[in-house]
Amino acid sequence: MSTGTVNAAARPARRVAAVSPGTRARVPLIVTAVLLAVMFAVGSVRYDGFLSAQVVLNLLIDNGFLLVVAVGATFVILTGGIDLSIGSMVALSTMLTAWLVESHGWPLAAVIPLVLLVGAAGGALMGWVIHTFEIQPFIVTLAGMFLARGLCYTISTESVTITDPATTAVAQTRLYGPGGLFVSIPVLVAVAVLLTAFVVLHHTRFGRNLYALGGNESSARLMGLPTGTTKIAAYGVSGLCSALGGLLLTFYTLSGYALHAMGMELDAIAATVIGGTLLTGGSGFVLGTALGVLVLGMIQTLVNFQGTLSSWWTRIVIGALLLVFIVLQRLMGGRRHAAR
C-alpha cells in the first residue's frame, strides 16, 4: 500500500479523534445555553417588561432552593446513581425548622446547623446502605423518601407558619445593586453553593473520583480509588444540599409543611439532565445544572406572562424537553461508541 493511500485512510480517523470526548460532553451544555437565550429572546419580543435584568434575577430568587437541590443531585447522578429522597428531605427540613423555631423557641442560628447535619447524615446513611449491601439506589432512596415524608407528618399534619423575627428578617431582606436591581439572601447562598460545587468537581481529587466512579466503577476500583467512600460522600452531599434547599424554601415561604416540595426530586433530576449530565454517570457539568434550573424557571415565567395557559403547560413543556435531551444524550453516546 502506498504512502498516499495510508495517509488518505488515516484522515477520517484523525477527524474522529479531533472531536474529543470533552467536546461531545459539552454539546448538551451548549444546546441548553442556546435554548435559554432563545427563550429569553422570544419572551422579550412577545411580552412587555420581559427584557429586564430583574426578570433574570427573579428566576434566581424564585428557584434558588431548586438550584441548591439540583447541585446535590448532580453529585449523585455523576456517580451513576439516583436520589429520590430529595423532595421529602426538603420538606422535612422546612418542618424541622418551623417546629423548632416557632413551637420550641430555638434560635435560628442553632436550628440551621442541626437541620444541615440531619440532611447530610441521612444522605450518607443511604449511600452507606447502597454501597455496603449493593442495593440499587432507586430502592434505597425510595425508602428514604417515604421515611422523610412520614417524619414530616409526625411533626405536624398542618402547615406551620413562621413569625420568628430573625427568620422573617432573613426572608424579607433585599440586597440592592445598580439601577434598583435586587436579590435575596438565599440567592447569594445558592450562587455560593454553585461556585463551591464547581471547584470541588473540577479542581479536587474528590471530584475526579466522582467522574471515575460514574464512568466505570469496576475500573475505578481496580485503579485503587476509594469508590465506597466516594459514593457515600456523594449521597451525603445530596442530603446536605437537600437540607440547605429546605432552609431556603423555608425562607421563601416562611412556613413548614409536610406537602412542601412534592415532586421536587423530579425537577432536580430534570434540571440536571437538561443541563447535560448523563443519567448513566461519568459526564456532566454543574454549571449545566444551573442552566437547566434557569430553563425550568424560564418556562414557568413564560407561562405566567402568557396569562391564558394552565400551569400544567409548564410540566408538559418540561417533559418534552427532558425527552429531547435524553434522546440527545443517547445519540451522543452512540457516536462515542462508534468512534471507539
Q: Is the pTM of the predicted complex or chain greater than 0.85?
A: yes
Q: Is residue 2 part of a domain?
A: no
Q: Is residue 10 part of a domain?
A: no
Q: Is residue 329 part of a domain?
A: yes
The grid cell for 271 is 434540571
How many domains, in total, are found in the chain?
1
Please determine, for residue 234, whether its predicted confidence score (pLDDT) is greater than 90. yes
Q: Is residue 70 part of a domain?
A: yes
For residue 23, the model assigns a pLDDT of 64
What share of the chain in percent tops pLDDT 70?
Answer: 90
Query: Is 198 exposed, middle or buried, given 0-12, 13-18 or 19+ CB atoms closer than 10 A?
Result: middle
Average pLDDT, stretch 295-308? 89
Distance between CA 156 and CA 228 in Å, rounded?
A: 36
Sign of torsion over alpha carbons 280, 234, 152, 267? negative
Range with the lowest mean pLDDT among 10-19, 99-108, 285-294? Answer: 10-19
Distance between CA 302 and CA 23 in Å, rounded?
A: 31
Half-sphere exposure of 83 toward its Cβ, with a 13 Å CA cutoff? 42
Using left for φ > 0, alpha for ψ between -120 and 50, and beta otherwise, residue 241 falls in alpha
- Per DSSP, 208 falls in state H
Range with the lowest mean pLDDT among 12-16, 84-88, 183-187, 264-268? Answer: 12-16
Q: Is residue 54 part of a domain?
A: yes
Q: Is residue 340 part of a domain?
A: no
Q: Read off the pLDDT of residues 91-107 as tens digits, 9 standing for 90 and up.
A: 999 999 999 999 899 99
For residue 313, the model assigns a pLDDT of 85
Distance between CA 256 and CA 51 in Å, rounded?
A: 34
Average model confidence (pLDDT) across the chain: 89
Q: Read off the pLDDT of residues 201-212 as tens digits, 9 standing for 90 and up.
A: 999 999 999 999
Distance between CA 319 and CA 322 in Å, rounded?
A: 5
Average pLDDT, stretch 243-265? 96
- DSSP codes of every residue in 120-156: HHHHHHHHHHHHHHT--HHHHHHHHHHHHHHHHHHH-
Write out the E strands in 140-293: 160-161, 174-176, 182-184, 255-256
Q: Is residue 20 part of a domain?
A: no
For residue 333, the model assigns a pLDDT of 62
CATH number at residue 61: 1.10.3470
In this structure, the number of other CB atoms found within 10 A of the CB of residue 226 comes to 15
For residue 340, the model assigns a pLDDT of 46
Q: Is residue 9 part of a domain?
A: no
Please determine, for residue 19, whether its predicted confidence score (pLDDT) is greater than 60. no
Query: Which residues have CB under 8 Å from 122's CB, separation 6+?
Result: 85, 89, 144, 148, 239
For residue 230, the model assigns a pLDDT of 97
Distance between CA 317 and CA 222 in Å, rounded?
A: 43
**Closest of 154, 164, 160 to residue 257, by C-alpha:** 160
∠ CA(261), CA(31), CA(249), 5° rounding?
A: 15
Tell me the residue range of the domain where 76 lies: 25-333
Average pLDDT, stretch 14-41? 72
Length of the chain: 340
Query: Which residues have CB under 8 Å from 4's CB, separation 6+?
Result: none
Partner residues linked to 183 by β-bridges: 175
